[in-house]
């Protein structure tokens, strides 16, 4: 297929682009500047513009771009987080619907934050939860409506936090743990879900090449924060005896800390596994060891940008 991808410079994008090419697909990346070659397409989601003519002939679009949610949710940050997802997705979906012939599939990034907080197992059939993250995911997925209405297959990959040495929960916790300042967060009883970057890449390839549609959870496992903390300490060969009190989390991170760090959820990858996808990295200790290895040791190439995939 000829695949166009937004957010190609982000954590997932820098791993997915070479994987797509290795699988035999042609890849064009959407960039927020003048294109440097035939494999780049200019777009400016903040301004609502995209070079639709350069998208002609594309078979599929992977939409990854968006402001990182892992920051304190100030009023301005909330606006950026929501706007980057809704505006960008809406622009991509409307443009795809206007093309002739139309691309066959849109695979969009999404998040397990849709389910809100709680310790009970949840699947794609579970209702939307409460909270800012849940509201963002709902609006994010709804913004792809024009593509669905045009008969394009739309897949929303609700991805758990990705294990990575520089980004996500491991990236933020690595330095304190290396300084022997690591410990459980709050009570440590809240559930933390996780998935490896290689499995995320495989899930995107699967979504493109199968007939999967609708939301699908991309999560390899879930453990309590105390269990995650112990596993990370062992992987880094550091003690984990300095807990981060819930009050300190609330003071430092506000609602973001309440939902993403202190809140728990146990999403299950029911749709992916029922349709034949199998996660390869299901052992947390082994997945952490691989994630903490220098990227060149695990075959990762490319820049290390922010999680939003901005260029």
Is there a domain that residue 303 lies in?
Answer: no
The one-digit pLDDT tens for each residue of the chain (311 residues) are: 999 999 999 999 999 999 999 999 999 999 999 999 999 999 999 999 999 999 999 999 999 999 999 889 999 999 999 999 999 999 999 999 999 999 999 999 999 999 999 899 999 999 999 999 999 999 999 999 999 999 999 999 999 999 999 998 899 899 999 999 899 999 999 999 999 999 999 999 999 999 999 999 999 999 999 999 999 999 999 999 999 999 998 988 898 999 888 888 999 999 999 999 999 999 999 999 999 998 654 443 333 333 334 32
d(CA 285, CA 223): 12
CB-count exposure of residue 88 (10 Å: 0-12, 13-18, 19+): buried
What's the domain range around 155? Answer: 2-298
- The CATH number covering residue 149 comes to 3.40.50.720
Is there a domain that residue 305 lies in?
Answer: no
| Total structural domains within the chain | 1
Length of the chain: 311
Is there a domain that residue 278 lies in?
Answer: yes
3-state SS track over 207-270? HHHCCCCEEEEECCEEEEHHHHHHHHHHHHCCCCCCCECHHHHHHHHCHHHHHHHHCCCEECCH
Give the helix/strand (H/E) hosting 274.
helix 270-274
d(CA 186, CA 188): 5
Whether residue 107 contacts residue 159, with contact meaning beta carbons closer than 8 Å, is answered with no
For 62, the token pair is 């992977």
């Amino acid at each position: 297929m000829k695949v166009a991808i937004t957010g190609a410079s982000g954590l997932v994008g820098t791993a997915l682009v070479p994987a797509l090419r290795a699988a035999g697909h042609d890849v064009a990346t959407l960039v927020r500047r003048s294109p440097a070659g035939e494999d780049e397409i200019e777009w400016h989601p903040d301004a609502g513009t995209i070079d639709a003519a350069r998208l002609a002939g594309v078979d599929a679009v992977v939409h990854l771009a968006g402001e990182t949610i892992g920051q304190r949710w100030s009023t301005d940050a909330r606006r950026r987080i929501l706007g980057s997802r809704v505006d960008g997705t809406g622009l991509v979906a409307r443009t795809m619907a206007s093309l002739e012939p139309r691309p066959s599939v849109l695979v969009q990034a999404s998040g397990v934050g849709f389910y809100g907080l709680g310790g009970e197992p949840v699947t794609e059939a579970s209702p939307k939860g409460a909270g800012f993250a849940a509201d963002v995911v709902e609006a994010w997925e709804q913004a792809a409506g024009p593509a669905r209405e045009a008969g394009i297959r739309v897949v929303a990959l609700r991805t758990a936090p990705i294990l990575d040495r520089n980004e996500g929960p491991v990236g933020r916790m690595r330095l304190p743990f290396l300084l022997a300042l690591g410990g459980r967060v709050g009570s440590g009883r809240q559930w933390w879900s996780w998935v490896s970057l290689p499995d995320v890449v495989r899930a995107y390839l699967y979504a493109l090449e199968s007939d999967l549609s609708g939301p699908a959870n991309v999560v390899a496992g879930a453990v309590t924060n105390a269990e995650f903390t112990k596993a990370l300490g062992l992987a880094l060969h550091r003690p984990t005896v300095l807990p981060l009190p819930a009050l300190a989390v609330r003071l430092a991170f506000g609602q973001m800390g309440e939902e993403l760090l202190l809140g728990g959820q146990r999403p299950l990858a029911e749709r992916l596994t029922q349709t034949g996808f199998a996660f390869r990295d299901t052992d947390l200790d082994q997945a952490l060891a691989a994630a903490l290895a220098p990227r060149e040791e695990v075959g990762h190439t490319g820049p290390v940008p922010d999680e939003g995939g901005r260029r």
